Amino acid sequence: MDKTLIVIDNHVFIKPEYLNHEFISGNKLRKLKYNLKEAKRLKKNVLLTFGGAFSNHIAAVAYAGKEYGFETIGVIRGEELVNSAKLNPTLAFARECGMTFKFISRHEYRTKTDVLFIEKLRNEFGDFYLIPEGGTNVLAVKGCEEILTVADKKFDYICCPVGTGGTISGLINSSYNTQKIIGFPALKGDFLQEEIIKFANNSNWELISEYHFGGYAKINEQLVHFINQFKSRHKVALDPIYTGKMMFGIYDLLDKGYFKKGSKILAIHTGGLQGIDGMNEKLRQQNMPIIV
Ligand SMILES: *Cc1c(COP(=O)(O)O)cnc(C)c1O
């Protein structure tokens, strides 16, 4: 057995992409790898990207900028944050890494891919290398094609959480036809199917949309309980936004007999653990149990 995998039981294994970095989501580093090379090649000094206030991608870009010598600009959803006295843990980390923020309204945020809006940003900040929200583009998918290795051929199912679809597209492209790739969307969204079709070159995949818990960053006590129990049983931390929902889904599907008997399942632990502190702040405010 591949020593880099974590064995959960006889048929569930975890690929610990979260160990690629202590703070940054493993898949976000994969998605940035070839984008950073391209930015260097184009002699860009500034990276600009978009995200919500708890975004793993914002944290990853800020960190990558510091590490590889780029200035970074984060266009953040939620103008009310401009006046908040204290930044949440994600944004505090990004600022420490040197990121400049531009907070915009939710309304304006919806126009973030419009040519006119990008032009406005170029007028304000000058030349930059643009990385889309969540980091997904062709170069990001190329980076995610490096997650699976030949040794992973023995798995019948490869499972991963889905946000913008870049990670699963990379997994699909580097999988074998005998394998099935199962994505667990972390948000409500019918657009995902189409996004993945744009990047993926095989049809051996499926999205299972029953485990988003009401939408992006929405969670309930049942999920918190599952995450805490999983950690105490298996010594593996899960994040509440992506990997917790995926793993909850895998176990529910196991209970329902979804997987072929005797098959081997590989779950990609994409990371996201930096989001736990921010989520716990919200849970405390709502007097809900927290992630331990
Ligand atoms: C961003 C992220 C995802 C989703 O990846 P996409 O490529 O956007 O689908 C999954 N897990 C974690 C931990 C993430 O940070």
Domain boundary among 92, 118, 135: 135
Output the CA 123–ligand 1 centroid distance in Å.
30
Residue 274, ligand 1, Cβ within 6 A: no
User: Atom 10 (ligand 1): residue with closest C-alpha?
Assistant: 161
151 lies in a domain?
yes
Q: What is the mean pLDDT of residues 38-42?
A: 98
261 lies in a domain?
yes
Domain boundary among 116, 135, 154: 135
Q: Domain range spanning residue 192?
A: 6-22+137-285
Q: Token pair for residue 154?
A: 């023995």
Together in a domain, 280 and 143: yes
Of ligand 1's atoms, which has the minimum distance to the CA of residue 166? 7
291 lies in a domain?
no
Domain boundary among 119, 135, 151: 135
Buried b (16+ CB within 10 A) or exposed e, 184-221: bbbbebeebeebbeebbeeeebebbbebbbeebbebee
Residue 170, ligand 1, Cβ within 6 A: no
pLDDT in tens, 118-176: 999 999 999 999 999 999 999 999 999 999 999 999 999 999 999 999 999 999 999 99
Q: pLDDT exceeding 70 applies to what percent of the chain?
A: 99
Confidence (pLDDT) at 3: 63
245 lies in a domain?
yes
Q: At what angle do helices 26-41 and 166-173 cross, to 10 degrees?
A: 90
User: With 90 as the cut, is the pLDDT of residue 256 above it?
Assistant: yes
CATH number at residue 254: 3.40.50.1100
Q: pLDDT exceeding 90 applies to what percent of the chain?
A: 88
45 lies in a domain?
yes
Confidence (pLDDT) at 123: 97
What pTM value is reported for the model?
Answer: 0.94
Together in a domain, 144 and 271: yes
The domain tally of the chain equals 2
